[in-house]
Amino acid sequence: MQTDLNKSQTRMNLMRAFAGECQSRQRYYQAALIAQQQKLIGLERMFRFTAEQEERHAMVFWKLMKDAAGQTVDVTAGYPADVFEDIGQLLDASQKEEEKEHVVVYPDFARIADDEGFTEAARKFRAIAEIEKEHGTRFAYYAGLYREGRLFRSDDTQQRWICLNCGHIHVGSEPPQECPVCSAEQGYFIREAEAAFTSCEVTGK
């Protein structure tokens, strides 16, 4: 049986999740601006891409609080003050936060929601936890490339790089310092496989 949302722990957990997602969105947006200042446009786009998803997660939790409309929900929660300028630190902190959401916070909220009979909320907590896992993997991947100085370097001499500004493809172990087509700086290049929509192929189906 479902508990009254306004007498439940799930109400506070939904508000905590909403607040957490709003903050994640803001943190990644700020990180995007720092990446942009450092001319790391691929990382800027990656942070923005993730920030937009966090915004959508916030909306999912927001909508689940319809029965609490008009009320003030008090929450107690800890949120990270990841005020870093260093991209490596920002990536590490983001990865850590995603892991916490995926491993601890949302599974816990899901279990409580199930106990209280909020099956839809439980399902959403679990589904979003899975997305946060992907976010964590992505941040860890870029943290590794950044640390190892491999954002613009590959062992593969046939590596395909795409300019995010004009779409030019460069094949080689390193993208050019400047795009030969649009003159965008090297920071616009990412591995082609990392770009959205680039693995489209006609498969005959």
Residues at the interface with Fe ion (CB under 5 A): 21, 54, 57, 98, 132, 135
Is the CB of 54 or the CB of 116 nearer to Fe ion? 54
Tell me how far, at minimum, the Cβ of 186 lies from Fe ion, in Å. 28
Residue the block writes with tokens 């279990």 = 111
Is the CB of 8 or the CB of 24 nearer to Fe ion? 24
Is the CB of 12 or the CB of 181 nearer to Fe ion? 12
Tell me how far, at minimum, the Cβ of 81 lies from Fe ion, in Å. 18
d(CA 135, CA 142): 11
d(CA 46, CA 196): 10
Strands (E), 86-195: 160-163, 169-171, 189-191
Backbone φ/ψ region at 172: left (φ over 0), alpha (ψ -120 to 50), beta: left
Neighbours of 122 (CB within 10 A): 21
Tell me how far, at minimum, the Cβ of 67 lies from Fe ion, in Å. 22
Beta bridge partners of 169: 162
The side-by-side arrangement of strands in the sheet containing 169-171 is: 169-171, 160-163, 189-191
Is the CB of 21 or the CB of 92 nearer to Fe ion? 21
Is the CB of 44 or the CB of 54 nearer to Fe ion? 54
